[in-house]
Amino acid sequence: MEERYCLLKNLIQKKMKRFKEYISEEITKNDLNQIEKYADKLFAAVGIDVEFTRHFLDRVNDERNKKPINTAELIRLFRLTFKKYGKKIAKMNPDAEAVIHDMETDVNMPFVLNLDRNGMLDLVAKTVMRKKDFKTRNQKLEV
């Protein structure tokens, strides 16, 4: 009887794992565009335009993140970053690089600042990952 119970329990766990994988919400290009609009509105106050690389979209949905990164976490990351470091980022030199690190969710977002054709500062989010002990030589902005 106990052996049947274990077999049934294992079967249910496997089915649930497949179901969770099936329903896991990947961030789409459209989702990323909406997040970019939100971040642009925030950072416009300090003269910064936010951009994402193609690699960012690939990496945000990567299984190496273990727990998937969701849109709410990205929105939170931008909101807290603007609140704590908005003016500081605006004063950084073009070509400066840094990493935004959310200490609560362990989401890391390396970025570079570029000047666009219009002389506006672009914050280009190069990639994103969930990792506890993310190593970098660049400045870390912890939120």
What integer pLDDT is reported at residue 23 of this predicted model?
47
| pTM across the whole model | 0.79
Q: What tens-digit pLDDT sequence spans the chain (143 residues)? A: 577 666 666 667 666 655 544 445 788 899 999 999 999 999 999 999 999 999 999 999 988 988 899 999 999 999 999 999 999 999 999 999 999 999 999 999 999 999 988 888 999 999 999 999 899 999 999 99
What DSSP string runs through 7-66?
HHHHHHHHHHHHHHHHHPPPPPHHHHHHHHHHHHHHHGGGTEEEEE-HHHHHHHT-GGGS
Give me Rg for the CA atoms of the chain. Answer: 19
5-8, long-range: CB within 8 Å, 24+ apart, which pairs?
none
123 phi/psi in degrees, rounded to 5: -95, 110
- State the Cα–Cα distance between residues 63 and 99, nearest whole angstrom: 21
What integer pLDDT is reported at residue 11 of this predicted model?
63
What integer pLDDT is reported at residue 24 of this predicted model?
53
